[in-house]
Structure 1
Amino acid sequence: MPRASAYTTAASRLAHLAAPARADLHTHTVASDGDYTPSQVVALARQARLAAVAITDHDTLAGVPEAQHAAAGAIEVVPGVEISTSFAGRELHLLGYFVRPDHPELGAALARVREGRRERFRALVALVQARGASIPDDRARLTETAADSLGRRHVADLVIVAGAARTRNEALQRFVHPVLKQAPPKVLLPIEEAVALVHAAGGVASLAHPPEGLTDEQVVALKGHGLDALEAVYPWARRAPEVRFRATAAAHGLAVSGGSDCHGPDPAHRRVGACAITAAEFAALRGRAGCAAH
């Protein structure tokens, strides 16, 4: 294959520079239930020509240092977390951005939630074993050691290791989902407590993938608890939710956040960079966190 001409190379570089800056602010790594290491997420974010990527593992900030080291200044890595919370009798997830990973109060609260996850993981393993999945004890212990924050995807992967299912989806549908109600309930932080902790850690709080039934009255209540943003940009199955939540955010003076919610290579529409917000939206979020622009 002939080498690219100097003109072609220059044109390619100019096209890269001219590409609009975007930020994917919702990704997961092996620190929780993602398939990629933090370094791999950073590499994929660079391939997607993102200006910034947030590491937002479930209830842990453990993946942030590796990602920031891997970035080496080539891309901004936003320290983030997706916190399991409760609001109005239901589970909601809160995204915290620009938080200090070493903040003691936030760290202690997340540790409590992770301990609940660990107990639930062990109970789920026992329950799926009772359904016929012979999970080796040493593999279950290895999973506990490898991931800082455990979830149902980890149990499903153990079912595959046991040979009881061939795919994660099959393992979830046949073994994990039928026993979820028998496991101990999740440990959830009241959302007002989670928002306050994010703010205390210097961050900005956004509601992750807002539920379809979210009402204006609930948005007002959440804003009263200090909520800063809504995740309107998300791999929704259709365009309508983004339009609706953008309008809701504007009506209530909230910022817009967004991201791919990538957990791994599949599905393709949730890969790193598949959903991202603009540079202006990213700057607005940063401003609400009180962070100086870089």
Structure 2
Amino acid sequence: MIPRIDLHTHSTASDGTLTPPQLIRTAAEAGLDVVALTDHDTTAGWEPAVRALPTGLRLVRGAELSCRWSGVTPSLPLHLLAYLFDPQAPELVAELARVRAARLERGERIVALLRSDGIDVSWPEILAGAGGGTVGRPHIAQALIRAGLVATTSEAFGPDWLGQRYRLPKEDIDVFRAVELVRAAGGVPVFAHPRATRRGRIVPDELIAELAAAGLVGVEADHEDHSPAEREHVRGLAADLGLLVTGSSDFHGTHKTVRLGAFTTAPEVYEQLVAASSGVIEVVSG
């Protein structure tokens, strides 16, 4: 039987709805053989996830870094998946701490904007709902749902709410700097959902080529926000640039409808990805 490998998931350490142990149990129940925990800008979920590992399930420890490319105006936000990096690498730790603090500040400012328009949402309640995890717009979306103002997270991310009217920029890591930091920390950088036009603006292929020259190892092709044509485009680009091609669910629990293992990574690609790391942080087996 071919191993089932999902390399992009989120827990309550950032903006998922399952705790790291719950996520691990759900991954095992879903029949996964390998799962990566990639919370936004944090490694806080790593330890509880490791403790919860059942026999037969392997855990790839990672994070999804909030990045930005300044080659266009306005600058373009994007996400970089980082796998098997040293969580104590000083420069990377400092950047992640800065980004988390910026997320917190942005969240509080968004709530202030909502309240100034007479929308009764509570910042302390949103903080409590995050449970100590990295605060993001999905936590504010849940407050809007609880207030009966929207029915779903997708509606909350629409133009009348957090997608435009109440959307504020945040501090991110320059994407070239992020690739450099991940590689210096012994990790493996993979560009997350690079062709997802349904999310908005996308980066040009030329940027991915420049990132590949700077140390990018792979691109995520099989993802729910990629159409079949977009997946094929990413695969073709990866072949041209010598990049690995991954697939994953980008699971967030009930914040999204996608299920764990909805998209997976080929075993041979997974092995190459692990081999590309320095080995400072290894895959953990239950």
The alignment's TM-score, normalised by the length of structure 2, stands at 0.87
Q: Does residue 288 of the first structure (1) align with residue 281 of the second (2)?
A: no
CA shift for structure 1 position 272: 0.9
Q: Give, in whole Å, the separation in 2 of the partners of 1:99 and 1:43.
A: 24
Equivalent residue in structure 2 for 1:151, among 118, 136, 144: 136
CA shift for structure 1 position 119: 0.4
CA shift for structure 1 position 31: 0.9
Alignment CA distance shift 1:154-1:242 (3 Å): same
SS at match of 1:224: helix
Conserved? CA contact 1:136–1:162, under 8 Å: no
Conserved? CA contact 2:15–2:133, under 8 Å: no
SS at match of 1:205: strand
Q: Which residue of 2 aligns with 1:94?
A: 80
SS at match of 1:79: strand
Unmatched segments (≥5 aa) in structure 2: none
Conserved? CA contact 2:42–2:96, under 8 Å: yes
Which stretch has the larger CA shift, 56-65 or 171-180?
171-180
Q: Does residue 84 of the first structure (1) align with residue 66 of the second (2)?
A: yes
Q: Which residue of 2 aligns with 1:193?
A: 177
Q: Give, in whole Å, the separation in 1 of the partners of 2:156 and 2:255.
A: 16
**Percent identity (aligned):** 37
Q: Which residue of 2 aligns with 1:273?
A: 261
Question: Which structure would you say has the larger RCO, counting Cα contacts within 8 Å and 6 or more residues apart?
Answer: 2
Equivalent residue in structure 1 for 2:149, among 152, 160, 164: 164
CA shift for structure 1 position 216: 3.6
Q: Give, in whole Å, the separation in 2 of the partners of 1:57 and 1:71.
A: 17
Greater Rg by CA: 1
SS at match of 2:162: helix
**Which aligned runs of 4 or more in structure 1 are off by greater than 6 angstroms?**
none
Which stretch has the larger CA shift, 103-112 or 167-176?
167-176
Unmatched segments (≥5 aa) in structure 1: 1-18
Conserved? CA contact 2:220–2:247, under 8 Å: yes
Map 1:110-121 → 2, pairs under 5 A: 110-121=96-107
Conserved? CA contact 1:128–1:176, under 8 Å: no
Equivalent residue in structure 2 for 1:48, among 21, 26, 30: 30
CA shift for structure 1 position 277: 0.6
What do the CA deviations read for 1:125-182 (whole angstroms, capped 9, x no partner)? 11112233212354134235x142111111111223334334333434343334335x
Residue 263 of structure 1 aligns with an amino acid whose one-letter code is H
Map 1:174-253 → 2, pairs under 5 A: 174-181=160-167, 183=168, 185-211=169-195, 212=197, 213-236=202-225, 238-253=227-242
The root-mean-square deviation of aligned C-alpha atoms, in Å, is: 2.1
Which stretch has the larger CA shift, 79-88 or 172-181?
172-181
Aligned residues: 272
More helix by share: 1
Equivalent residue in structure 2 for 1:58, among 29, 36, 40: 40
